[in-house]
């Protein structure tokens, strides 16, 4: 059996200011550093064999705090990046709506800005990553630190959902989602677990 602990990065400066980040590389804010520490305490005593992370600062910083607690090195993987948001990068939701309003006949679950990545693009990335985890980490526990979009892509893939950009679930900052791979099938064991954050004001 393989166990993946999927961690969304802790709160970033972009999260705090309501910005669509995508590949915009913004670090954690003060609350984010506290959240990362609490996620690290949650995972400290798990027998993790490896920690993978998106190279974007908010994920890499969160992963490093966890790695320091677990005595491991962080393995950065480009496939774990957030969706590339194209022309929406760095904008607020209000600014995006003003730039290109959503029409009544458009599906908001897969609305893509100019130059942005589609759900199908993300599915290619995460399918490749998951295949590597199966090949490399038989009978091991792994932590994966990335973004809401890439986590949605991973969970959507293992559940067999269509490759949309927005799925019918969400991931809070520093939340932990658990997947296992057993008998040639992925299973979702928990989703968006945030109980370790109760002492940290949101």
Catalytic residues: 9, 82
CA 100 – CA 15 distance, rounded (Å): 22
Task: Find the largest Cα–Cα distance for the chain.
Answer: 51
Give yes or no for a contact between 77 and 171, defined as CB atoms under 8 angstroms apart: no
Q: Where are the alpha helices (DSSP H) in 54-182?
A: 57-70, 93-99, 119-136, 148-158
Tokens of 18: 């309501």
- Tell me which residue of 7, 124, 136, 128 sits closest to 64, measured CA to CA: 7
- Whole-angstrom CA distances from 185 to 3, 33, 74, 151, 179 are 12, 35, 26, 18, 10
Burial 26-50 (b: 16+ CB within 10 A, else e): bebbebbebbbbbbbebbeeeebbb
* 100 secondary structure, DSSP code: S
């Amino acid at each position: 059996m393989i166990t993946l602990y999927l961690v969304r990065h802790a709160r970033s400066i972009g999260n705090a200011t309501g910005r669509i980040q995508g590949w915009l590389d913004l670090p954690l804010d003060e609350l984010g550093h506290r959240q990362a520490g609490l996620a690290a305490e949650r995972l400290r005593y798990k027998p993790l064999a490896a920690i993978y992370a998106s190279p974007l600062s908010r994920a890499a910083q969160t992963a490093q705090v966890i790695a320091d607690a677990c005595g491991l090195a962080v393995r950065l993987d480009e496939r774990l990046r957030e969706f590339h948001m194209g022309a929406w990068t760095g904008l607020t939701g209000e600014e995006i709506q003003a730039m290109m309003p959503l029409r009544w006949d458009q599906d908001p679950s897969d609305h893509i800005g100019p130059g942005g990545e589609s759900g199908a693009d993300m599915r290619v990335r995460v399918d490749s990553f998951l295949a590597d985890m199966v090949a490399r980490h038989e009978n091991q526990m792994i932590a994966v630190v990335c973004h809401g979009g890439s986590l949605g892509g991973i969970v959507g893939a293992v559940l067999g959902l269509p490759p949309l950009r927005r799925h019918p679930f969400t991931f809070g900052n520093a939340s932990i989602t658990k997947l296992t791979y057993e008998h040639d099938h992925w299973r979702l064991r928990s989703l968006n677990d945030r109980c370790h954050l109760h002492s940290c004001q949101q």
